[in-house]
Amino acid sequence: MPNLLDIRRRIKSVKNTQQITKAMKMVSAAKLKRAQDRVVTARPFANKMIEVLGGLADRTDENFHHPLLDARGDERYLLVLVTADKGLCGAFNTNLIKAAQTFIRDNPGKQIDILAVGRKGRDFFRRRGASLAGEYIGVTGKGRVDFSEALEVARDVIKRFTEDEEIDKVFVIYNEFKSVLQQRVGHRATFAGCAHNVQRLGTGKHESTLDSG
């Protein structure tokens, strides 16, 4: 049976642990606030860019041709799935993977290649023998994504689309930040003049943004 001195040492140890945990919470809250501010600040510019590019695509002359704007067939898709590298984040990854599964199920007969950005999505579809066109691991697992890393992925997608004329459409499935407790699953068609065409469907706390193509 522990004596009084052992009990006092245990109490002191628990209090020290509480202080350390409190400090860690404060640091995490500050990091989250900075990340949230960056997302909220950048969003109006991103939305306006999509609006402007969509407007330009709609207003191009029928005789104007560009690899990213010319309409193609409807047989082969490239699906860019953006998930996290790590878990322990609630339904963050689960909803993204479910959206990808729904997309594949809703497009029977299509050849769908998956470009996985994030370990969770890559591992899930690799275990099920899905066709993986490529992968980017370590981009989303360090707390922030640098512009150079996002640019590398974007250039890879553009290169695949422009060099492989058999790819008819490119779709991106991602999480759009709404609040700390709520994410919106986004599903957006890019290129071929349909980057601005977005239809949103609600799925409880997580909204599913699905594009009819």
Residue with tokens 């609040």, as numbered in its chain: 179
89 is catalytic: yes
Which has the closest alpha carbon to 208: 171, 179, 181, 176?
176
The CA distances from residue 72 to 65, 162, 193, 197, in Å, are: 12, 11, 10, 16
Q: Which of 89, 137, 154, 180 is catalytic?
A: 89
The β-bridge relationship of strands 199-203 and 206-210 is: antiparallel
The residues annotated as belonging to the active site are 89
